[in-house]
Amino acid sequence: MRTYTLHVPEGAARGDALALERAQIVRDGFAPRAFAFTVLWFLGHRLWLAAILVFAGLVALSVAGHALGLSPGAGFLITGLASLLIGLEASSLRRWTYGRRGLPARDAVIAASHEEAEMKLAARWLDRDAAATRHAPVARATPRRDEDTALGFFPAREGLR
């Protein structure tokens, strides 16, 4: 089971089908294609700034390795570790880019596949009644503590009650 986030335009109200048309769904976790294809993966997802930053980082890593006189095996290992880091953080960079473009994360769901996540998120987004009950204030089951109540951290205060 994976976690998926729903990114819809800012200011969109639950139940708005047009906002759902522009929505993006992002799977959380390791992205094997981002690990294998790095910059091409970012370009394929239209993440231009992230693609430029990743490309610049990989070039800087290569230049630094060459300047330090590392062996080709060490350079391959360092590039592989950088690609692993890119694969681990690709989903976060994608969510960050969508947030910057005005598509903040508005919901999250756990699902076995992308299609299941899409169905769950669409059903939750279009169900206005569930949204109203989900955000309704909840009555407190326990009584509120006074502002002056100490929790045992200040023994001198305990005697003043």
According to DSSP H, which parts of the chain are helical? 17-21, 32-37, 39-44, 48-67, 72-100, 114-126, 128-134, 155-158
Report d(CA 43, CA 51) in Å as an integer. Answer: 6
Q: Which two tokens stand for residue 89?
A: 């953080």
Residue 130's pLDDT is what? Answer: 55
Report d(CA 155, CA 161) in Å as an integer. Answer: 11
Domain edges within the chain: 2-158
Report d(CA 20, CA 127) in Å as an integer. Answer: 12
- Per-residue model confidence as pLDDT tens digits over 83-117: 999 999 999 999 999 999 999 999 999 999 999 99
- Per-residue model confidence as pLDDT tens digits over 44-75: 999 998 899 999 999 999 999 999 999 989 98
Segment holding 111, helix H or strand E: strand 105-111
Residue 132's pLDDT is what? Answer: 52
Residues 19/121, Cβ–Cβ less than 8 Å: no
- Per-residue model confidence as pLDDT tens digits over 121-149: 999 999 866 555 555 454 445 555 555 55
Residue 138's pLDDT is what? Answer: 47
Query: Which one-letter DSSP state was computed for residue 19?
Result: H
Percent of the chain with pLDDT over 90: 66
Q: Which two tokens stand for residue 107?
A: 């919901």
